[in-house]
Amino acid sequence: MFENLLQPIALGPTELRNRIFNPAHGTTLGHRGVVSEELIAYHLARARGGVGLIIMESMTVHPSYSFEDAFLYAGSDRIVDGLNRLATQCRAEGTPVFGQLFHAGRGVRLSHDGSRPLSYSASDVPDERYRVVPVPMPNEMVWELIESYVNAAGRLADADLDGVEILASMGYLIAQFLNSLTNRRNDEFGGSLENRMRFLREILSGCRARIGKGKTLGVRITLDEKTENGQPTAEMIEICRLLEVDGHVDYFSVISGSSASPQGWIHVFPPMSVAQGFVADDAARLKQVVDKPVLVAGRINQPQLAAQIIDAGKADMIGMARALIADSEFVAKVMRGHSEEIRACVACNQACVGHRLAHFPVSCIQNPLSGREHSLGDVQPTSEAKNILVIGAGPAGMKAAVVAAQRGHRVQLHERSGRSGGQVNLAEALPGRAEFGGVTTNLQRELERSGVQLLLNSDLDAEAVARIQPDHVILATGATTRLPEVEVEGVELVDAWSVIRGEFDVGKNVVIADWSCDWTGLGVAEKLAREGRYVRLMSGGSVAGESIQGIVRDHWIGILHGLGVEMTAFARFYGALDGSVYFQHMTGGEPIACEKVDTIVSCYAPQANRTCDWVEDVDGLQLTRIGDAASPRTVEEAVLEGFNAARRV
Ligand SMILES: Cc1cc2nc3c(=O)[nH]c(=O)nc-3n(C[C@H](O)[C@H](O)[C@H](O)COP(=O)(O)O)c2cc1C
Ligand code: SF4
């Protein structure tokens, strides 16, 4: 089934052992613009996991865009040594390494000191997403930029990387030059297609001359920017055709989306509400026009889908950024014939994109080792096998049980309900969120392989605990819902979890009192609006969904808008009387009244579930409390704390 996917391929002079590559992705694991031990350990784990090619994260090339806290900087010779160590170690595991060169142009949101930096572009066309007005690059600066790309490519070659990829995609600087709507220049870099292509062509020919024929040179492009005023797809295909004729490029890598608009940005990091493999048809269109290999990435998280795309001839290689963040051994599992063991990414964007955009190292909600390979190392066997009792089979308890068992402990996992998964079971029941249930599916499979004894419908008491004789108890009982302490009369008040479970017949006119600003309010609003109700979502933050990852939130807000959900920000739930629900504006202090309301759905702060706290009084027990049982937060913290607790017992 995976025969073609696992076939070797050559990109220019570089031979690859299979068709799966790790596309460029910023990790925030570098240190002050250079490669760190953390970054080496991160990529080494993926090379050991069998990936055919690693394309390293965007490196900046010129001081006009060089934020060293976030990006590696290839504009200085300081980059060479670390890159060389990284590439040498990955190659020793069978995985060549390319570096990607990048300049954001007007797509600037970062600053070294809090002030807004000058941004540069082809012309002074404003940017919708960052609301930036760029400085048009003087002609001599354009030539200087070209030289910077070429010098940076030279440094990558000096570091003995196997190849260089030029990022000409996602609406960034080179794309700003290519697009007639963002390039209004009247020098040799603007006007005709030939002139708009000159910037990219000079970069590619210069890079080829500098790195020679012994290294691969590729270009990353976007065929569908999903953006008003984006580059027309047909013109971009023509650009690729002309680049192939020029003869400098060894491959084309296709991605979707753009940095220039919220909708475009969503498609650069597509959340689970975007269809899997949605870029494959773009790649197929390009393949009809060029002979060089075409690479594709975007929501491909299963080997079956990857194989289908390769088998159908739509692309020559499959990129998996988040799938490999979630499971560094993805490829090795396919090669071993155990693809069912893959911890599939659920496209929640929380700990990968979310961390990255907040300037923290990437990780994964399902895989705390990801991004922490250097500091944590492999899970070590215990020198003293103990009896471990884990109470509660939500993500925290499941992860704790798996890791404790992997270390050689004897582990019992008790769950009061008839199903493992905890709140994940609620989240996956919402419209368009079924894939989130993968978190439980993945953990369940890990449990089965680890030898943990899972006991469902198990209501423990002190006697039962005494019989088990645990050396250590991990308390992972999760959270329970609660209602806010406000006066409500003459309107039905129900909690969101009960609504998701279908336990209430919610009325026609609904107000959601959304303290949480997370998936609950957005999800319940979508569910009820799809069921034909008039929904007002009153959020306790500056925007609905403020607490969740921004891209997931933004896509969801668009869906709610389309469904006619009314959204109000900064609304503090105050009370209700006879069909009217009252809020107070959190900053202005004015009252906000919602009339003719049948049902209020409350998304209020959950509380730690303390129903098993009596174990604290059992003599001689060591106890660790994790996840929501300590304080209600998200799956990420639940899994991380389960992982850490099991490493310590
Ligand atoms: C944390 C993160 C950072 C990224 N940074 C880059 C980057 O530096 N350069 C780039 O070309 N793409 C970047 N991407 C986009 C990925 O290469 C990839 O195209 C995208 O994540 C879709 O693929 P996936 O569904 O396999 O994750 C990044 C993606 C992630 C998740
Ligand atoms: S945090 Fe979510 S989106 Fe990111 S790699 Fe993990 S499962 Fe995938």
Q: How many CB atoms lie within 10 A of CB 18?
A: 23
Instruction: Give the model's pLDDT for residue 148.
Output: 98
Instruction: Give the model's pLDDT for residue 115.
Output: 85
Q: Which of 449, 446, 359, 457 is nearest to 414 (CA)?
A: 457
Atom of ligand 2 nearest to the CA of 322: 5
- Do 308 and 347 belong together in one domain? yes
Q: Residue 277: which residues within 8 A CB-CB, separation 6 or more?
A: 298, 299, 300, 305, 308, 309
Q: Which of 355, 367, 434 is nearest to 399 (CA)?
A: 367
Q: 345: pLDDT confidence band, cut at 50, 70 and 90?
A: very high
- Rounded Cα distance, 46 and 42, in Å: 7
**Three-class DSSP category at 645:** helix
Q: Which of 166, 143, 150, 155 is nearest to 74 (CA)?
A: 155
Q: Residue 92: which residues within 8 A CB-CB, separation 6 or more?
A: none
Cα-based distances in Å from 469 to 370, 387, 472, 473, 642: 34, 7, 9, 10, 21
- Do 327 and 412 belong together in one domain? no
286 occurs within a structural domain: yes
2 occurs within a structural domain: no
* Most informative mutation of 349, 424, 433 for ligand 2 (most atoms within 8 A of CB): 349
431 occurs within a structural domain: yes
Interval 549-570 mean pLDDT: 97
Ligand closest to CA 25: 1
| Ligand 1, CB cutoff 6 Å, lining residues | 23-26, 57-58, 100, 167, 220, 255, 268-269, 297-300, 319-323, 352-353, 356, 362
Quick one: which H or E segment has residue 318? strand 317-319
Distance of CA 13 to the CA centre of its chain: 32
Ligand 1 mean position to 617 CA, how many Å? 49
Ligand 1 mean position to 553 CA, how many Å? 18
The pair of structure tokens assigned to 35 is 């490669």
Instruction: Give the model's pLDDT for residue 81.
Output: 98
Instruction: Give the model's pLDDT for residue 541.
Output: 97
Atom of ligand 2 nearest to the CA of 350: 1
Ligand 2 mean position to 127 CA, how many Å? 28
The pair of structure tokens assigned to 300 is 């491909």
- Do 80 and 186 belong together in one domain? yes
513 occurs within a structural domain: yes
132 occurs within a structural domain: yes
- Rounded Cα distance, 269 and 321, in Å: 10
Q: Which of 617, 618, 648, 645 is nearest to 629 (CA)?
A: 645
32 occurs within a structural domain: yes
- Do 240 and 358 belong together in one domain? yes
Ligand 1 mean position to 233 CA, how many Å? 20
* Geometric angle at alpha carbon 24, from 262 and 263, rounded to 5°: 10
Atom of ligand 2 nearest to the CA of 636: 1
Interval 563-589 mean pLDDT: 98
Quick one: which H or E segment has residue 573? strand 571-577
- Do 225 and 272 belong together in one domain? yes
* Most informative mutation of 273, 322, 353, 443 for ligand 2 (most atoms within 8 A of CB): 322
- Do 440 and 556 belong together in one domain? no
- Do 500 and 445 belong together in one domain? no
415 occurs within a structural domain: yes
pLDDT single digits (tens) 435-466: 999 999 999 999 999 999 999 999 999 999 99
Ligand 2 mean position to 381 CA, how many Å? 27
pLDDT greater than 90 at residue 620: no
Q: Quick check: 219 and 204 in contact, CB under 8 A?
A: yes
- Specify the residue with its C-alpha closest to ligand 1, atom 3: 25
Instruction: Give the model's pLDDT for residue 3.
Output: 97
Q: Which of 376, 396, 429 delimits the end of a domain?
A: 376
- Do 321 and 422 belong together in one domain? no
Strands (E), 420-523: 453-455, 472-475, 479-480, 487-489, 492-495, 509-514
DSSP bridge partners of 387: 410
| Ligand 2, CB cutoff 6 Å, lining residues | 322, 325-326, 345-352, 364-366
- Specify the residue with its C-alpha closest to ligand 2, atom 7: 345
Ligand 2 mean position to 380 CA, how many Å? 24
Ligand 1 mean position to 11 CA, how many Å? 20
The domain that contains 514 carries what CATH number?
3.50.50.60
Interval 387-416 mean pLDDT: 98
pLDDT single digits (tens) 320-344: 999 999 999 999 999 999 999 999 9
- Specify the residue with its C-alpha closest to ligand 1, atom 10: 24
Atom of ligand 2 nearest to the CA of 326: 5
pLDDT greater than 90 at residue 416: yes
Q: Tell me which of 108 and 310 has the higher pLDDT.
A: 310
* Geometric angle at alpha carbon 35, from 29 and 40, rounded to 5°: 75
% of the chain surpassing 90 pLDDT: 95
- Specify the residue with its C-alpha closest to ligand 2, atom 2: 348
Distance of CA 183 to the CA centre of its chain: 31
Pairing, β 571-577 against β 580-585: antiparallel
Instruction: Give the model's pLDDT for residue 392.
Output: 98
Q: 618: pLDDT confidence band, cut at 50, 70 and 90?
A: confident
Upper half-sphere CA count for residue 353 (Cβ side, 13 Å): 22
> In which domain, by residue range, is 351 found?
9-376
Ligand 1 mean position to 26 CA, how many Å? 7
Q: Which of 605, 622, 638 delimits the end of a domain?
A: 605
Ligand 1 mean position to 269 CA, how many Å? 7
- Do 255 and 305 belong together in one domain? yes
pLDDT single digits (tens) 43-62: 999 999 999 999 999 999 99
pLDDT single digits (tens) 68-123: 888 999 999 999 999 999 999 999 999 999 999 999 999 987 777 888 889 999 99
- The domain tally of the chain equals 3
Instruction: Give the model's pLDDT for residue 69.
Output: 84
**Three-class DSSP category at 265:** helix
First vs last Cα of the chain: how many Å apart? 42
Atom of ligand 2 nearest to the CA of 353: 4
- Rounded Cα distance, 148 and 197, in Å: 17
- Rounded Cα distance, 310 and 317, in Å: 7
Q: 547: pLDDT confidence band, cut at 50, 70 and 90?
A: very high
pLDDT single digits (tens) 512-540: 999 999 999 999 999 999 999 999 999 99
Ligand 2 mean position to 74 CA, how many Å? 28
Instruction: Give the model's pLDDT for residue 75.
Output: 97
Ligand 1 mean position to 24 CA, how many Å? 6
Q: 308: pLDDT confidence band, cut at 50, 70 and 90?
A: very high
Instruction: Give the model's pLDDT for residue 366.
Output: 98
- Do 225 and 268 belong together in one domain? yes
The domain that contains 205 carries what CATH number?
3.20.20.70
Ligand closest to CA 299: 1
Q: Is 386 exposed, middle or buried (0-12, 13-18, 19+ CB in 10 A)?
A: middle
Upper half-sphere CA count for residue 143 (Cβ side, 13 Å): 5
- Do 265 and 409 belong together in one domain? no
Q: How many CB atoms lie within 10 A of CB 631?
A: 12
Q: Is 32 exposed, middle or buried (0-12, 13-18, 19+ CB in 10 A)?
A: exposed
Ligand closest to CA 348: 2
Ligand 2 mean position to 365 CA, how many Å? 6
Pairing, β 97-102 against β 163-167: parallel
Pairing, β 509-514 against β 599-603: parallel
pLDDT single digits (tens) 216-231: 999 999 999 999 999 9
Instruction: Give the model's pLDDT for residue 116.
Output: 85
- Do 300 and 406 belong together in one domain? no
93 occurs within a structural domain: yes
Pairing, β 53-60 against β 72-73: parallel
- Specify the residue with its C-alpha closest to ligand 1, atom 19: 297
Instruction: Give the model's pLDDT for residue 511.
Output: 98
Instruction: Give the model's pLDDT for residue 67.
Output: 84
Average pLDDT along the chain: 97
Atom of ligand 1 nearest to the CA of 27: 1
Pairing, β 591-594 against β 120-121: unpaired
The domain that contains 615 carries what CATH number?
3.40.50.720
Q: Which of 31, 71, 30, 35 is nearest to 172 (CA)?
A: 71
What is the sign of the dihedral through the CA atoms of 292, 168, 159 and 85? negative
Instruction: Give the model's pLDDT for residue 40.
Output: 98
Q: Which of 325, 354, 376 delimits the end of a domain?
A: 376
Q: Which of 328, 321, 397 is nearest to 58 (CA)?
A: 321
